[in-house]
Structure 1
Amino acid sequence: MRSSQNKTRRIALSGLLFALTMALSFAESAIAPMLGLMPGVKIGLANIVVMYALFFMGAKQALSLALLKSFFVMLTRGVVAGFLSLCGGLLSLLVMWVLFRLFGKHITYFILSVCGALAHNIGQLIGASIVLSSTLALTYAPVLIVSGLAMGMVTSSSLSALLPALGRMGFNIKKL
């Protein structure tokens, strides 16, 4: 009986996290132009949810969210945007997962988030190079590296600030 309750709770939480990922992705795309961010520069709000899933629910859950988020981006912003989201999301998740596996509880959210943001931007640059059939997209790397550093700091600070509230609401906040 207990196992089925845990499974039901996990499925419900997965649905909630996916809905939150979609809402944050949509909000981010609406907010970014108002902030005057350069094209391609995103805050990374939806990535906070993916990071939570990776650290507290496991890599499979985080991968599911990253894939679903890319599919959502494709549906709402087009195939190219979805492809770039997929390239960035998968490389980001891979880098954070490898670092997390290597260093476990000894690595900070800040390091993981910044490395994940940088990897996300590199993944998008690789994806853009594929779409354009040219390495010309790589000339945008300095902009995305600086923004990745800044936005990685924002997402790690946001996750760290949210964890106490999530813990009070009954969410798992102990690293796997």
Structure 2
Amino acid sequence: MNKTQQMVLTGLIFAVALVLAVVENTLPPLPLAVPGVKFGLSNIAVMYALFFLGRKQAYLIAVLKAFFVFTTRGAIAAALSLSGGLLSITVMILLMFLFRDKITYLIISILGAVFHNIGQFFVIILIYTGMNLWAYLPVLLISGLVAGIVTSTLLKFILPALKRLV
């Protein structure tokens, strides 16, 4: 794939990420939903970029997503998106490097989602100093587990359509 094709495909995957984010925001809240907890459907596109386009493209899409969040929801939401996205991608890259072919997309997705939440949690702690938010961390870890399972499962279903883009 030449640079132009890669740039166009990265743009298409970013567009898919935005569409998935908009779709997720139109869905009704989850039953017994905890404030701020979502499945993170747009992370399906980031995972696809990481697995099939490369690290640079995955980071680029995460940064572009954070910029989009900034323009639509403000600076705090953008900081959460950026911190979670960058930490998540970094952890997934480390897992793929350390375990190569011995790790599944499911495990990578789960740990990526968990670390996405951890990245966001630490930004929240920095923003809301003086508040004891540590009780919220187990909720974020469990929701990361569930979100990772959901995004991995959806990626398996969407993968054939995304592979046709290449």
Structure 2 residue 155 is the aligned partner of structure 1 residue 159: yes
Whether the 8 Å CA contact 1:50–1:65 is kept in 2: the answer is yes
Greater Cα offset, 56-65 or 6-15: 6-15
Aligned residues with identical type, % of pairs: 50
Classify the secondary structure of the residue corresponding to 1:45: coil
Which letter maps to 1:17?
I
Structure 2 residue 15 is the aligned partner of structure 1 residue 45: no
Residues 170, 19 of structure 1: CA spacing in aligned structure 2 closer, same or farther, 3 A cutoff? closer
Whether the 8 Å CA contact 2:9–2:165 is kept in 1: the answer is no
Which of 29, 40, 43 is the aligned partner of 1:34? Answer: 29
Q: How does 1:79-158 map to 2 (within 5 A)?
A: 79-134=75-130, 136-158=132-154
Whether the 8 Å CA contact 1:87–1:123 is kept in 2: the answer is yes
Classify the secondary structure of the residue corresponding to 1:98: helix
For these two proteins, the number of residue pairs brought into alignment is: 165
- Name 1:58's counterpart in structure 2: 54
Using the alignment, how far apart are the partners of 2:18 and 2:165 within structure 1? 22
Whether the 8 Å CA contact 1:109–1:160 is kept in 2: the answer is no
Using the alignment, how far apart are the partners of 1:77 and 1:61 within structure 2? 23
Which of 73, 80, 87 is the aligned partner of 1:77? Answer: 73
Segments of 4+ moved more than 6 angstroms: none
TM-score (norm 1): 0.87
Superposition deviation, residue 39 in structure 1: 0.9
Whether the 8 Å CA contact 1:129–1:137 is kept in 2: the answer is yes
Which letter maps to 1:80?
I
* Cα root mean square deviation, aligned: 1.6
TM-score (norm 2): 0.92
Residues 170, 49 of structure 1: CA spacing in aligned structure 2 closer, same or farther, 3 A cutoff? closer
- Name 2:3's counterpart in structure 1: 7
Residues 118, 135 of structure 1: CA spacing in aligned structure 2 closer, same or farther, 3 A cutoff? farther
Using the alignment, how far apart are the partners of 2:55 and 2:131 within structure 1? 31
Superposition deviation, residue 26 in structure 1: 2.2
Using the alignment, how far apart are the partners of 1:29 and 1:138 within structure 2? 26
Using the alignment, how far apart are the partners of 2:26 and 2:50 within structure 1? 26
Residues 170, 66 of structure 1: CA spacing in aligned structure 2 closer, same or farther, 3 A cutoff? closer
